[in-house]
A and B are shown apart, each in its own frame.
Chain A
Amino acid sequence: MKAPALTEGLRQLPAGDKRLLKVCFGAALIALTLGVLFGAGTAGTRAGFVDSGPLYGYRMMTAHGVSIFFYWLYFAQAGLLLAFGAVFTVPGGHIAWRPLAWTGLATMIAGFVASGYAVIAGLPLLYDAPPELAGVPSPAVAAFYLGYLLLAAGLFCVAVSGVATVLKPRFDHRIASWPVVSFAAVGWAGLLIVSSIAALNAFLPAARWALGLSPMPSDYSVGWHVLFHNMHYLPLMATVIVWYVLVQAVAGVKSVFGAHLSKIAFAIYLIFVPPTSLYHMFLEPNLAEAVRVIGSLLSLFISVPTVTVFLVIVASLEVHARTHGAKGLFGWIGMLPWRNPAMAAMGMAVVNLAIGGAFSFVLIQEKIAPLLSDTFFVPGYFHFLTVGTVTLTFLAALCYVLPGVTGHALWKPGLLTALPYFITAGLLIFGASGVTAGYLGVPRRVLDVAYDGTAPALWGTLMAGIGIGGVIMAAGLLTYLYGLFRTLWPAPAEDVAGMTLPSVAWGDVTPAATRAWAGPLSVLLLVGAMAFFTALAFEMIQALPLQAAGAMGGH
C-alpha cells in the first residue's frame, strides 16, 4: 500500500527539519501529559475522590488549564503548521528560516518553564490570571505573565517561519499557485501572529505591574477577552485544516468543489474572527445594551466557517464513496477505513464537535450567558471541544506525522483505534454530568460544592460523574500518549515502509455526479439540537427562584 503524501513528504524532509519537529511534538506531548494528569487530579478533587486541599486543588486546576489550553494546543499547532507548510507547498520542500523556528520553539519552551514555576511557587491564578486575584505584585506573578509573553513571542517566530516556508517556493518560482493547504497555512500563521499581538496587549501591562513597574491595569479583562476569542478560533481552524489533510491520507479524497471554494472556506474563518468576538463581553456590566444585541446576533455566525469546511469534507467523502458503490443514505460512512486510528479519532471528533457546538450556542446568547457562565455548564460543554474535538484531531494528525518524522511504525494502531471511543465515553459521562450540573447551578470554579451539607444531594452525585468521566478520559488519553511517545522516541525502529495504516483510495477515480445528503442533514440536526438545548436552558432557568443581575447593568 502506498504511503500517503503527508508521511512521504515528512520522510523526505532534511534531518534538521525532522529534529525541530520532533522537539516541538515532544514538548506538545509533555504538555498534554502534564495537563491530563492535573486534570484528572482536579476532577478527582471535585468528586471527593481525593482530598488535595484548596491550595493544591486550585494549583492542579491552574496547571491543567495552562498546560493544555496554552501549551499543548500551541506546541502542537506550531509543529503542524511547519510540517504542513513544508510538505504540501512543493515536492521536496523544507522549513524555511529554520533558526527562527528554533528560536521560537526555545522561547515557547522557556515560557512553559516560567508558567510551571509560577504555578508551583505562587498563588494559583487559574489560566486567565486576573491581576485582581493575585492582589500584589510578586516574582511568581510576574513569571506567570512572562510565561505567556514568551509563548506569544515564540509563536510569532514560528508563525513567521511558517509563512516563509510557504512563500519561499513562490519567490523561487517553483510554483505558480498555492495548494489549498498552503493557503490555509498562511491564514493560520497570520492568525497566530495576531494572537501573539493580542497576548502582548493583554499580558504586557500585567507583567509590568507584577514587576512593580506600573499600576495594576484597569482593562485587563478586555485584553483577555480579545485574546481568548482568538484562542477559541485558532484550534478550531487548525482542526478543520487537519481534517482536510487527513481525509486525503485516509481516503485519498480531495475537495469535489475545487481549490477555489476551499480557499474561500478557509478565508471565511479569518473574516469571521473579529465580528463574532463580542459575546465574550456579555458579563461586562458597562457594555451598552445595543452592543449586547448586536454581539448576540453576530455570534450566531461563529460556526459558519467550521460548518462550511465540514460540508466540503463530508460531501467530498460521500460523493467519492457513492462513486465506489456506497448505498443508502448513510451506507458510505461504513465504507470509511474505521480500523485506521486517525479515522476513528476524526470520527469521534466530529461527533464531539456536534455536541459541544450545540451547547456552545446556548452560552453565546446575551440573556442566558450571565446565568450559565459561572456554572459547571462551561467546563461541561467545552471539554467536548478541547478534548473531544481538537485534541483528538491533533492526536489523529500525530498518528501520521510522528511515523513520518521518526521513521518508526505507529505503536499498536489497533489499540489507538479503540481509544477515541473510550475517551469519548468518558467525555460523555463528564459532559452530561457537567452540563446538567451547570443547569442546576453548580458553580464552575468551586472545588468543594457540598457547602457544609447544605447543597442539594444531586450536586454530589453529579460531581461523582465528573470524577468518573474525568478518570476514564485521562486513562484513555494517557494510554494514547504512551503510544505516541513510543513512536517518537528511539524504539524498535521498524521502517515505515509496509507499515501504512488502513486506508481507502477513492481519489483514483473521478467522482460521478451524485447527490450527497449527509452533510446538509447533519447541519440540520445540529441546528435542531441548538434550538432544543437553548429552549431547555430558558425553561430550566426561568423555573429557578432566582434573578441574575450581572450583565444587565444591575451593578
Chain B
Amino acid sequence: MKEDIVLLVIVFAVWALLAILYATVPMFAMPGYSVVWGWGSLVFLLLAAVIWIAQRRKPPSAAHPPGHSGPGAEKA
C-alpha cells in the first residue's frame, strides 16, 4: 500500500510543478492549463491521503484479518 501512496504523491508533485509553471512563467502563461493541472494535482494528493488514512486505521475486530489480498494480488 505504501508504494501506491508514493506513486500517487509523485503524480501530485509533477502535476503541481506544471501548474505552478503555467501560472508563473510568462512564456508559458496559460491560466486554463494551470487551473486544470493544479486542481488535478490536488485530486491525486487527496487520493494518496485517503489511502494513507485507510492504512493507518486499526481493524475493528479480528473478523476480517488484515493481510488478505485481492484475487492474484501479487501480480494481477
Give Cα A174 to B62, complex, Å.
Answer: 11
| Stretch binding the partner chain, chosen from A119-127, A189-197, A396-404 | A189-197
Q: A270-B44, A271-B14 are contacts. A178–B73 as well, Cβ < 8 Å? A: yes
Name the contact of A173 in the complex, choosing from B3, B18, B59, B73 (C-beta under 8 A).
B59
A444 to chain B minimum Cβ distance, whole angstroms, is: 24
| Stretch binding the partner chain, chosen from A86-94, A100-108, A350-358 | A86-94
> In the complex the two chains form, is B36's CB within 8 Å of A176's CB?
no
Q: A178-B70, A179-B76 are contacts. A171–B54 as well, Cβ < 8 Å? A: yes
Name the contact of A274 in the complex, choosing from B3, B18, B59, B69 (C-beta under 8 A).
B18
Q: Which residues of B contact A262 (CB under 8 A)?
A: 75
Nearest A residue to B74 by beta-carbon distance? A259
> In the complex the two chains form, is B51's CB within 8 Å of A167's CB?
yes
Convert A291-314 into 0s and 1s, putting 1 for each residue whose CB lies closer than 8 angstroms to a CB of B. 100000000000000000000000
B29 to chain A minimum Cβ distance, whole angstroms, is: 9
Interface SS of B by simple majority = helix
Give Cα A9 to B60, complex, Å.
Answer: 27
> In the complex the two chains form, is A194's CB within 8 Å of B40's CB?
yes
A135 to chain B minimum Cβ distance, whole angstroms, is: 23
> In the complex the two chains form, is A275's CB within 8 Å of B51's CB?
no
> In the complex the two chains form, is B36's CB within 8 Å of A198's CB?
yes
B11 to chain A minimum Cβ distance, whole angstroms, is: 4
> In the complex the two chains form, is B75's CB within 8 Å of A180's CB?
yes
Give Cα A341 to B63, complex, Å.
Answer: 42
> In the complex the two chains form, is B64's CB within 8 Å of A174's CB?
yes
The reply on A30 being an interface residue by CB < 8 A is no
Q: Which residues of B contact A275 (CB under 8 A)?
A: 14, 18
The reply on A219 being an interface residue by CB < 8 A is yes
> In the complex the two chains form, is B75's CB within 8 Å of A259's CB?
yes
Within 8 A of A (CB), among B1-40: 1, 3-4, 7-8, 10-11, 14-15, 18-19, 27-28, 30-33, 35-37, 39-40
Q: Which residues of B contact A182 (CB under 8 A)?
A: 70
The reply on A493 being an interface residue by CB < 8 A is no
B22 to chain A minimum Cβ distance, whole angstroms, is: 9
B35 to chain A minimum Cβ distance, whole angstroms, is: 6
> In the complex the two chains form, is A288's CB within 8 Å of B27's CB?
yes
Name the contact of A180 in the complex, choosing from B31, B40, B50, B76 (C-beta under 8 A).
B76
The reply on A163 being an interface residue by CB < 8 A is yes
With most chain B CB atoms within 10 A of its CB, the pick from A91, A93, A190, A274 is A274
A196 to chain B minimum Cβ distance, whole angstroms, is: 10
Within 8 A of A (CB), among B38-76: 39-40, 43-44, 47, 50-51, 54-55, 57, 59-60, 64-76
Name the contact of B4 in the complex, choosing from A169, A183, A254 (C-beta under 8 A).
A183
Name the contact of B28 in the complex, choosing from A177, A248, A291 (C-beta under 8 A).
A291
A306 to chain B minimum Cβ distance, whole angstroms, is: 17
Q: Which residues of A contact B1 (CB under 8 A)?
A: 170, 176-178
Nearest B residue to A193 by beta-carbon distance? B43
Nearest B residue to A220 by beta-carbon distance? B32
> In the complex the two chains form, is B67's CB within 8 Å of A176's CB?
yes
> In the complex the two chains form, is B3's CB within 8 Å of A201's CB?
no
Q: Which residues of A contact B73 (CB under 8 A)?
A: 175, 177-179, 259
Give Cα A178 to B76, complex, Å.
Answer: 9
Nearest A residue to B54 by beta-carbon distance? A170
The reply on A258 being an interface residue by CB < 8 A is yes
Q: Which residues of B contact A464 (CB under 8 A)?
A: none
Nearest B residue to A224 by beta-carbon distance? B32
* Complex A-B: 21 CB contacts under 8 Å: A5-B72, A169-B70, A173-B65, A175-B70, A175-B73, A176-B1, A176-B67, A177-B69, A179-B73, A179-B76, A180-B75, A183-B7, A190-B44, A197-B36, A201-B35, A202-B32, A248-B72, A255-B75, A263-B3, A263-B7, A271-B11
For the complex with contacts A90-B70, A173-B65, A274-B19, 16 further pairs of A-B residues with Cβ separation under 8 Å are A167-B50, A169-B70, A173-B66, A176-B66, A176-B67, A179-B73, A183-B7, A190-B43, A197-B40, A201-B35, A226-B32, A248-B76, A254-B76, A262-B75, A275-B14, A291-B28
